[in-house]
Amino acid sequence: MLKNVAVLLLDEVHPFELGVLCEVFGLDRSDEGLPVHDFAVVSAEGPHLRTHAGFTISTPHGLDRLEEADLIAVPASGNVMTKTHPEAALSALRRAVERGARVLSVCSGAYVLGAAGLLDGRRCTTHWRHAADLARRYPTAIVEPDVLYVDEGQVITSAGTAAGIDACLHLVRQEYGQDAANTIARRMVVPPHRDGGQAQYISRPLPRNACDTVGGTLAWMEQHLDQEMTVEQLAAQAHMSPRTFARRFQQETGTTPYRWLLRQRVLLAQHLLETSDRTIDTIAGQTGFGTAATLRHQFVRSLGTTPNAYRRTFRGPSATAVADVA
């Protein structure tokens, strides 16, 4: 059970990433039936540290506090990619994993785990801007740049900034169940999970401004999710050959047309389940899945839950029986 949580800080720590860890693990929400952690912020470089935003913070806790932690989290720091990290901090991280504790990095905090040798032979991620550099720096790490987070058991790494929320809620869900994660997410006014639910890792939502030649086709696809689509049809829409279109699509979105379309359909289904009283059959037709059985299959594969269970979670027990208003 996760009881003792420590956040390891380096100089020029990023306040938002630190705040995410404090919000999820450091607040007392026992009034809502949630567990309370023995939480501490630990400095690796003296009691007073600068933040990346220019102000300073202080903490009375030194590296010895890490020895009793069940989880050690490492947020991003401004110079984490270029500086030499204190060996005492790296040794503490290694000892933690050796004794069975977990470590979690947010954004470029993955570099600290890499310097400690904890990414060797493991799948991991970081902010997409740093992924290639992380892979070069630690060549035995298996860097996955297109995910929000990667859970490798004792070592969890997350992508940039808000992806740290996803990773933390994932860990809460593992330790305490979905209700606990949902409660914290609602307090933070964020979704309990994004793309994949409790899957081991979650595909990163695609950046819209990264599209160059297929952007118009993506917009058309979003407006016609209820229709059947083939690569040949989409290629014609983009005035390309099917082979060129498939290659460009992969280059500009990081995924295939089928996977992109499937994800958008699931997203639309989530929205309709949360905001409307339409039946599952009607939603299946409007999202291009055709039948309730197909919608259920793809929903479970993507989110790890059924459409009805998802609707109950986000709309309450009264949503178990609804009328078709379409």
Catalytically annotated residues: 107
Distance, first Cα to last Cα, the chain: 46
Longest dimension (CA), the chain: 64
Kindly report the backbone phi and psi dihedral angles of residue 73, in degrees, each rounded to the nearest multiple of 5, phi listed first: -105, 140
Structure tokens at 3: 């009881």
Kindly report the backbone phi and psi dihedral angles of residue 148, in degrees, each rounded to the nearest multiple of 5, phi listed first: -80, -40
Q: Count the alpha carbons within 13 Å of 283 in the hemisphere toward its beta carbon.
A: 27
| CA-wise closest residue to 18 among 76, 63, 101, 57 | 76
Structure tokens at 311: 């609707």
Residue with tokens 């208003």: 325
Kindly report the backbone phi and psi dihedral angles of residue 104, in degrees, each rounded to the nearest multiple of 5, phi listed first: -140, 130
